[in-house]
Structure 1
């Protein structure tokens, strides 16, 4: 959410930020709407002041038996009384219109975000890990290896439809181990507070993090007007909504392992095979609430936490700085981590870590107060630490064996009772 006061103070900078996003200038229209609203507010205030003053004059006229003057003054008060509700309604209407216009505009990109139209213009930051070398020629994708280990696509589709999968037996255990491993690392090594949040939320929670109103078609809605979360970012970030925190309480760091739900409305025909793009998937999410001067360092810290999980699993990956045309709605800067999938022979996104500056905080009215100071908006950050299903895909493809079994990464073996190899049930 943008602050109209800041737009009024520096309209050129606001329009320049929109231009980097590939959007037309908006400051003139927004400021004009705000001016009309402010003029209406002033007119209502003047009318109320005039009404109060006339009421006093009516009393004075009656005291001096000046009935003609009292009658004229009462007529003017009656006219003002009729006019005030109209002015107040006009102000409310313009306020709603202005808020809706501001809410539909994405966050402005940070100064170091490269300009570009799409993922082809993203910038490589670094590439780490050694791609596996296989001693056999038939390198397979996860959807060819997985069924023998319990990746049941047919039953998932039969029960729930396309883009649903049932995990059974060995692969279900591996999926559970991955989520627990990721969450344990964040809590023990990075100081995140573990949270088990609701996966059904109210509309205002999704508005606060920027999914609504613009991306309603990407979400699942229940019949009682609740929404299934597309990411635990929604639940975790809203922990601080409508609050004024003491500066000493920050930073706050939350982590959760939850199912996530996305309609994938804009993904028709994309990744229809396998686990890459599902309507329901598990994800470990990180959220940080910090002071503005700490948000850049926190962004690096959060991204490093996600990278650490990939390194511990022995998965090769690269970090990409997203360009202005590929960033999410609420983000000011986003790093994508892309894991190497040897079956596909390419990198695929497995984590996004974003700083949203005060964009979400304004929508949630989440603030902090330094000692002796005025409340300021916090900065919010979120990141995947990691997407469990895509990590499962990466482990299966990178640790595949010629006979169809999958070696278990060393760090996951304690979560699987010492199991070192996933093999098809006998």
Structure 2
């Protein structure tokens, strides 16, 4: 099948190359010329485990371009552009609307049926009330008759996105017309997981409900973890017992300093904004965000128990990405931690295997080390913010360590050790 993918971020890049690996021809369309050139040179424009190897293996099955008109040569187009948050937490559809308009212009001169599939995370009702009218207006054609329209939410975890593409828990397809349903069923035939066919608005909501529930588990674990810390109880032992209950999946009970990234914070805030627009007060979701915003600052509180005055002290930060195996710093828990340390007058030395360039654009005033070892040797205390595997191989002997991610080696070796929830 000939596939076009609009947007070459984490979702678009992994989705497109994944389909190429399965034998399809793929065209990436992106307005960022640097990304287009990078992809065409056989490299990933982002850091994602196993992605470069996949790109190299499929060099003859894909190409990238800035020109939208090339999608006329494909059978199906996936919209994978970003949907960032506005200041009030509501969803910003600027990129989605722009993509829909460009697709509509191309479809205006295409005689054959073309399926348009939304993978970008959008609030329920967006595809039919916003995207559909734009494509219809620009193309002069009727949705579900002259062109197809569907929603196919992604459930990829950054750092494990390639694995998740090929090993999904489920595939959700929100669709109204028979032709698009058949196209997507054919495309996803190689996958043996559960496949749910539903209406478009329900598919949009499944994505938000999934992320909201997982984020709720994390904030719940942190609330319990904060109580456990006061009682001298290891929250991880508690959730080991909780997770043995067959009604409760043990995943996402990792108490610590909270969640970040491009999905959970943005999606929950967008769902809160939509709920309030509908006259619903989403108390639980608001609490999830409140706990998550407070949680990383627990590290500073614990640090000040051992170094009450941080002014002039050199504090090491291990990990800047929002999670390991990615270079993404969006909503990273390192951001509020560094901001607070700067307010306290501390001198900061930081290290991350992949995210330092991006972080330096936000915080050029702090020092960046060439290795994790240098952070430890040059600092008065060390804060572990991201659980990169290499941090479990370091020598923490004699150091003050405040651990937000439960690194076993630090627990065993540090001179003074404090875990956030254990």
TM-score normalised by the shorter chain: which range applies? under 0.3
- Relative to the length of structure 2, the TM-score reads 0.25
Higher relative contact order (CA 8 A, sep 6+): 1
Q: Which has the higher strand share?
A: 1
Q: Which of these two proteins has the greater Rg computed from alpha carbons?
A: 1
